[in-house]
Amino acid sequence: MRLKVAVIGDRSTVTGMSLAGVQIAHVHSDRESTMDRLRELVSSGDVGLIVITHRVAEELGEELRSLMRSKGVFPVLVRIPDSTGYLPKRDELSERLRRVVGAEIKVTG
Amino acid sequence: MATASELSPTRTELIRLRRREALAKTGHDLLEEKMDALVMELFSVLRRMQELRASAFDQLERAHRALSSCFAAMGTQETVQAARETVKSVELEVSTRNLMGIVLPVIERPSAVRNALGRGYSMHGTSALLDRAALEFEKALELLVPLAVAEAEAFAIAEELESTKRRVNALEYILIPRLREAIKFIMMRLDEIERENFSRLKRIKKIMEEREWTRSA
């Protein structure tokens, strides 16, 4: 199966990823439109990877998490730092791992 | 699960409960083995993820630096325009694989790196800095794909681990103790019946002996 890549983030990230040949791009401005776009991408079935900046992912919060829980294997979501290099202190994966394993696991870049 | 008062204290019931207990124990052991395997798998994925994350984010930082000098040299509007004109050709070859019943994504690493002519923006009026930024982002994109897969794997394995753990706990702390309780109850009831019967027989024997004695007297 051949699927597309989508990018959601600030202008720099989106510009850069477009230069790299990413087909679907969305510059984040407000929650509403970004969530609509994400829902569309998830349900379209022809997106394999969504690249989203940590800052936007954090702003979308629970809404994004529940969307990701409801999807199948694809699209895969990857959170990246934006042009300012922003990384949240706690990310969702280490949060979940702490709950599962019962111990802090450091997963830092 | 029947409560103690609903249990009929019979041998058949006892045998049935003992069988269930043995089955629950086997299930518990198997699930525990699965949990161990999942933990090992999770740690290996996490190690891989850490390396991938470090290299992808490094590359991304380089890409952003290249892009910001391009913004400065060419102007933001012009750069964005060039990005719009770029040929969008990246496609992912995807499939899935199965790990202990968990469906995991497989994505082949795409070849995103192209030469300047292949990108499609006009060579006229764009700077070499743009080529540079595009190249760095192409490299970053190539590194992001395996990272995304590793993160998805870690998430899926962690989720499976969580539900397996819940099942192990349910067996260990709820089902097995309840079955043991029921077995104990039936065994005590059966012993009691046994004792009642024993004294009843003793009593009958005594009465019969008395009758025998009066008759012969």
Q: Pairing between strand A47-53 and A24-27?
A: unpaired
The answer to whether B141 contacts A108, with C-beta atoms less than 8 Å apart, is: no
pLDDT confidence of A85, banded at 50, 70, 90? confident
What is the C-alpha to C-alpha distance for residues A108 and A105, in angstroms, rounded to an integer? 9
The residues facing A25 across adjacent strands are: A7
The residues facing B97 across adjacent strands are: B104
pLDDT recorded at residue B3: 56
Delimit the domains of chain A by residue range: 4-101
The answer to whether B141 contacts A20, with C-beta atoms less than 8 Å apart, is: yes
pLDDT recorded at residue B73: 84
Chain A residues contacting B via beta carbons under 8 Å: 1-5, 11-23, 48-49, 51, 73-74, 76-78, 80-81, 83, 85, 93, 96-97, 99-101, 105, 107-109
- Of all residues in chain A, the one with the smallest CA distance to B62 is A83
- Of all residues in chain B, the one with the smallest CA distance to A75 is B105
What is the C-alpha to C-alpha distance for residues A23 and A5, in angstroms, rounded to an integer? 6
Torsion of CA B111, B117, B120, B126, to 10 degrees: 120
Between B217 and A28, the higher pLDDT residue:
A28
- Residue B2 located in a structural domain: no
Decide if B35 contacts B211 (C-beta within 8 A).
Answer: no
The answer to whether A19 contacts B49, with C-beta atoms less than 8 Å apart, is: no
Q: How distant is the Cα of A44 from the closest Cα of chain B, in angstroms?
A: 15
pLDDT recorded at residue B71: 86
Asked if residue B175 has pLDDT above 90, the reply is yes
Of A22-36, A64-78, A79-93, B9-23, minimum mean pLDDT range: A79-93
Q: Write the residue in A15, A100, A107 that is nearest to B161 by C-beta.
A: A100
* Domain A4-101: CATH superfamily, name plus number: ATPase, V1 complex, subunit F (3.40.50.10580)
Torsion of CA A36, A38, A41, A43, to 10 degrees: -70
Between A108 and B125, the higher pLDDT residue:
B125
Asked if residue B22 has pLDDT above 90, the reply is yes
pLDDT recorded at residue B113: 78
pLDDT recorded at residue A109: 43
- Percent of the residues in chain B that have a pLDDT greater than 90, as a whole number: 59
What is the C-alpha to C-alpha distance for residues B146 and B57, in angstroms, rounded to an integer? 12
What is the C-alpha to C-alpha distance for residues A107 and B148, in angstroms, rounded to an integer? 14
Query: How many CB atoms are closer than 10 A to CB A72?
Result: 10
Decide if A107 contacts A93 (C-beta within 8 A).
Answer: yes
Place of tokens 């292949």: B118
Q: How distant is the Cα of B22 from the closest Cα of chain A, in angstroms?
A: 28
pLDDT recorded at residue B78: 83
The answer to whether B104 contacts A73, with C-beta atoms less than 8 Å apart, is: yes
What is the C-alpha to C-alpha distance for residues A3 and A87, in angstroms, rounded to an integer? 28
Domain count, chain B: 1
- Residue B3 located in a structural domain: no
Rounded to the nearest 10 degrees, the angle between the axes of helix B76-85 and helix A11-19 is 40
pLDDT confidence of A104, banded at 50, 70, 90? low
- The closest of B123, B97, B93, B98 to B108, measured between CA atoms, is B93
Between B120 and B159, the higher pLDDT residue:
B159
Kindly provide the b/e burial profile for residues B38-51, where b requires at least 16 CB atoms within 10 angstroms of the residue's own CB: bbebbeebbebbee
Contacts of A70 (CB under 8 A, 6+ apart): A42
Coil/strand/helix, residue B10: coil
- Of all residues in chain B, the one with the smallest CA distance to A96 is B158
Q: Which residues of A touch B50 (CB under 8 A)?
A: 107-109
Decide if A1 contacts B95 (C-beta within 8 A).
Answer: yes
What does residue A4 show for φ and ψ, rounded to 5 degrees?
-95, 170
Q: Pairing between strand A47-53 and A2-9?
A: parallel
pLDDT tens profile B83-110: 888 888 888 999 999 998 899 999 988 7
Structural domain of residue B127, as residue ranges? Answer: 9-216
Asked if residue B38 has pLDDT above 70, the reply is yes
Query: pTM of the entire structure?
Result: 0.82
Residues 61-80 of B with CB under 8 A from A: 61, 63-64, 67-68, 71, 79-80
What is the C-alpha to C-alpha distance for residues B61 and B67, in angstroms, rounded to an integer? 10
Structure tokens at A65: 């998490």
Q: Evaluate the CA torsion angle B156, B159, B163, B164 in order and state its sign.
A: positive
Of B15-19, B97-101, B180-184, minimum mean pLDDT range: B97-101
Q: Where residue B150 sits, what CATH number does that domain have?
A: 1.10.287.3240
Q: Return the top range by mean pLDDT from A76-85, B70-79, B193-202.
A: B193-202
